[in-house]
Structure 1
Amino acid sequence: MTKTALITGASRGLGLALARALAADGWRLLLTARGADALKPVADELGALALAGDVADPVHRDRLARAVHDRGGLDLLVNNASGLGAVPLPPLASYPLDVLESLFRTNVLAPLALIQATLPGLRERRGAVVNISSDAAVGAYEGWGGYGATKAALDQLSNVLAAEEPDVAVWWVDPGEMNTVMLADAVGAGEAAAAPGPETVVPTLLRLIATRPASGRVSRA
């Protein structure tokens, strides 16, 4: 039976790299990202269904859930889409609370809402959830408090979900620094260019999916 995956933030970076690898393995893909112009060529390349939109938008999440249902369920949900928050990275003492509230909607509430919407199908097919985390969830890095707080919350949601849903594998993955647009926005293009490419994380994710180890936090390192 052909396996189906839903990947958020799939138009670039880690989401795109993983989508290409899964497509090469014969997976059927549902891909989403905010920019339709960037997402369409990816979907055309991979023979995937593209549904552009913001995962923080409940209407868009409903569209994604309906698409999953129409395809008979889901084997893999990858919550990769993420926001950075305020830039330049501010200290918590002056972090804009409206920006932080929006960041929690994107980085925490949206992944949980997608999990809730697709969980029946994931249970039925003994599927898996991959939530992309960060070392900022566990480390005290100046300026990364807002982003790190959202990833720490996502880690704990993943941890409890794993305990509550024994038939669904749940991994929250810290990919380490990657040369992505987000990292460049945070630290500058020069420093970001020195980081490994997101494709270097894909073997870790493929190994998880193929071998299905116990649910838990996974670091590429």
Structure 2
Amino acid sequence: MPVAVITGGSKGLGRALALGLAARGWDLVLGARTAAVLAGTAREAEAYGTRVVAVPGDVTDAGHRTELIAAAGRLGGLDLLVSNASVLGAEPLVRLDAHPLAGLRAALEVNVVAALGLVQEALPPLRASAAGTVIVISSEAAAEAYETWGGYGAAKAALDQLAAVLAVEEPGLRVWAVDPGDMDTDLHTAAVPAEGEHRPAPESVVPAFLRLLDERPVSGRYGARSLLVSA
């Protein structure tokens, strides 16, 4: 069975992707900071009859990143890395003139530095896979200028660029930066708690990710909603 590592895998999009892959028979390594919530998601995925390893920890910790990839190795290798763990840098979001610099550093550390560190750990087994794939979770804020989204958007834009360069440097892999669009997640609620609008569930975009895995288009940046419309 193919093996995937998903960071931020306990809830939101990470959980939705984990269950979507488990339903297809993927073995999973799931990482997240909250052990109890992560264990619950692992049990949900295991109900599909797949093997699931829950690895609680912080993706900024090099030891945790090493443990994630080692767990994948014990399952037989690594075919897919999903870099989903993310922080906003300020909750709720604020204008740049008030953005805490410590928060921006935290966003860059989690969303960019840790993501690259994990890719570096994962490259040997990904190169050995016949279908080695990296997916980084992007955001519309990485490409568009929205008031108060500057810090988070800058971090996601940096992540997009890392993915684009990785695709050039690793032509044997598929590397996709995927913008899932607005979703009903804790992250979005923390970003704009008073917004009060209805947003789609994370599960609604899982078919777009599965389509990418099925069709394996060239490396690049994709919008999940666009993939669903064109399906």
Residue 30 in structure 1 maps to residue 29 in structure 2: yes
Q: Does the alignment pair 1:212 with 2:211?
A: no
Unaligned runs of 5+ in 1: none
* Kept after mapping to 1: 8 A contact 2:5/2:69: no
What is the SS of the residue equivalent to 1:191?
coil
Q: Give runs of aligned pairs for residues 1-221 of structure 1, distance below 5 A.
A: 2-47=1-46, 48-125=52-129, 126-188=131-193, 191-192=196-197, 194-220=198-224, 221=226
State how far apart, in whole Å, the 2-side matches of 1:219 and 1:46 are. Answer: 26
- Could you state the TM-score of these two structures normalised by the residue count of structure 2? 0.91
Give how far 1:46 is off: 1.6
Identity among equivalent pairs (%): 53
Give me the whole-angstrom Cα distance separating, in 1, the residues matched to 2:213 and 2:114: 22
Q: Distance in 2 between matches of 1:92 and 1:188?
A: 18
Give yes or no for contact 2:53–2:71 (8 Å, CA) kept in 1.
no
| Contact map agreement 1:72 1:121 (CA 8 A) in 2 | no
Shift of 1:85: 1.3
Greater alpha carbon shift after TM alignment, 60-69 vs 131-140: 60-69
Q: Which residue type is aligned with residue 166 of structure 2?
A: L
Partners of 1:62 and 1:29 in 2: how far apart? Answer: 15
Which range moved further: 180-189 or 106-115?
A: 180-189
- Give 1:16 deviation, angstroms: 0.6
- TM-score, normalised to structure 1's length? 0.95
Give the aligned length.
219
Greater shift, 41-50 or 183-192, is seen at 183-192
Poorly superposed stretches of 4+, deviation over 4 Å: none
Using the alignment, how far apart are the partners of 1:19 and 1:60 within structure 2? 19
Q: Distance in 2 between matches of 1:179 and 1:151?
A: 19
Partner secondary structure for residue 13 of structure 2: helix
Q: How far apart are the structure 1 equivalents of 2:194 and 2:5?
A: 29
Q: Contact (CA 8 Å) 2:111, 2:155: kept in 1 or not?
A: yes
Superposed CA offset, 1:71-110 (max 9, x none): 3320000001110111221211221111111111100011
Cα deviation, residue 68, structure 1: 2.3
Determine if contact 2:79/2:132 at 8 Å carries over to the other structure.
yes
Give the Å deviation of 1:59.
Answer: 1.7
Letter in 2 for 1:106: V
What amino acid is aligned across from residue 154 of structure 2 in structure 1? A
CA distance in 2, matches of 1:162, 1:72: 24
Partner of 1:173, secondary structure, is strand
Q: RMSD in angstroms over aligned alpha carbons? A: 1.2
